[in-house]
A = this chain, B = another copy of it.
Amino acid sequence: MSYISFCSDEGYPYNLDFDYGALAQLQHFSINNLGDPFIESNYGVHSRQFEVGVLDWFARLWELEKNEYWGYITNCGTEGNLHGILVGREVFPDGILYASRESHYSVFKAARMYRMDCVKVDTLISGEIDCADFQRKLSLNRDKPAIINVNIGTTVKGAVDDLDLVIKTLEESGFKDQFYIHCDGALFGLMIPFVKKAPQVTFKKPIGSVSVSGHKFVGCPMPCGVQVTRLEHINALSSNVEYLASRDATIMGSRNGHAPIFLWYTLNRKGYRGFQKEVQKCLRNAHYLKDRLREAGVGAMLNELSSTVVFERPKDEEFVRRWQLACEGNIAHVVVMPNVTIDKLDYFLNELVEKRATWYQDGVCQPPCIARDVGQENCLCSLHKK
């Protein structure tokens, strides 16, 4: 039970009830998907049919017609962001990149790699992009198109940017047809479709690309991701890059061919309903964790659309390491993934409560105030406890 990660990058594939044994045999083959999934290459040991099958599934989920999408299975969430932002820059070469300061660092890395001007937008206490600040910053750059990274679940707080409000802000600021939106759905991209009341990610809205990780919620045993964009953008890109002597519009050339098979297998075994049930379970369990933490006097926050519970950083680094908690300043988080059961949460909670009593028993040391991170209403430090 112990030493099991609470990161989103879980250490053990979730789907052990599946017949992964047969899939593990594939390890004996070097499966390599070279370049564009939709263009045949001369290397025969590939899994491109599976790759295209997975992409079709996601294109349907995000409501983009089969003949209107392009995509590929990436090596990780970062590659998805690097690709989405690159497509945005190719569509608007002089566009400015906007991203909330709680965006994944790969977004700012992309800006630097691609030599793009980048504007950081403030966030609300929830971790969502602050659209009032976004509007102010847009108004300072009316002459340049906008490329926006929208977070479908930030890394630390699991905050989901309000896509509809982002689009409204852009249109009201006079950027109609002068923006490109990349949705970084690394963690929640696959959960959000199953969450009622969430602003849906769909290509029926004016977005350019969506990426999601395959080794997080889907539980693939190697890092991977899915990237989907509009075919029209890739066609424009490819005609520009003809001198490359390749129509490869991916970022990496060689790509792991095992990942698409695992993804395809999992998607087909679980299906839409299976994911729906898992998402509901995750959200339920996350609520349970947050409630139990607060009952125990531990300040905690859970965003409405998220399964990431943010709480007071445990004082003992050994405890942090043992439970592999990601920490930032005074806060830590637990990402409640499908493998995180109530039993496991109870085990964790009991240990935390027990240890915590010893950390603060002398009364000299106090639990940290986390009001600045999660808001006064979620903080239970001596000052904010009611």
Task: Mark A residues whose CB is within 8 Å of B.
Answer: 3, 5, 7, 9-13, 16, 20, 23-25, 27-32, 34, 42-45, 75-79, 82, 86, 104-106, 108-109, 112-115, 213, 215, 219-223, 241, 243-246, 248, 251-258, 320-321, 324-327
Contacts and interface: CB of A to CB of B under 8 A. Distances in A.
B44 A30 contact: no
Contact of A29 (B75, B213, B221): B221
Contacts of A258: 222
Nearest to A14: B30
Nearest to A258: B222
B42 A7 contact: yes
Given A5-B45, A45-B5, A75-B75, A27 B221 contact: yes
A112 B248 CA distance: 13
The 4 closest A-B pairs by CB, nearest first: A11-B45, A223-B254, A76-B254, A78-B253
Contact of A43 (B7, B16, B43): B7
Nearest to A75: B75
A49 to B, nearest CB: 16
Specify the main secondary structure of chain A where it touches its partner.
loop
A326 B252 CA distance: 19
Contacts of A113: 86, 113-114, 251
Nearest to A325: B42
Contacts of A254: 9, 75-78, 213, 215, 223
Contacts of A30: 9-13, 215, 219-222
A5 B29 CA distance: 12
A75 B252 contact: yes
B112 A115 contact: no
B5 A246 contact: no
Given A78-B252, A252-B76, A27 B29 contact: no
A320 B327 CA distance: 55
Given A42-B327, A254-B223, A32 B215 contact: yes
A43 B76 contact: no
Nearest to A111: B244
Contacts of A220: 30
Contacts of A82: 251
Contact of A248 (B28, B75, B105, B321): B105
Contact of A246 (B105, B248, B321): B105
A113 B115 CA distance: 9
Contacts of A253: 76-78, 104-106
Contacts of A43: 5, 7, 9, 11, 324
A323 to B, nearest CB: 10
A245 B79 CA distance: 18
Contacts of A241: 109, 112
Contacts of A27: 20, 23-24, 27, 221
A29 B12 contact: yes
Contacts of A10: 30
A4 to B, nearest CB: 9
A11 B44 contact: yes
A77 B82 CA distance: 17
Contacts of A105: 244-246, 248, 253
Given A24-B27, A30-B222, A34-B9, A42 B326 contact: yes
Contacts of A251: 78, 82, 113
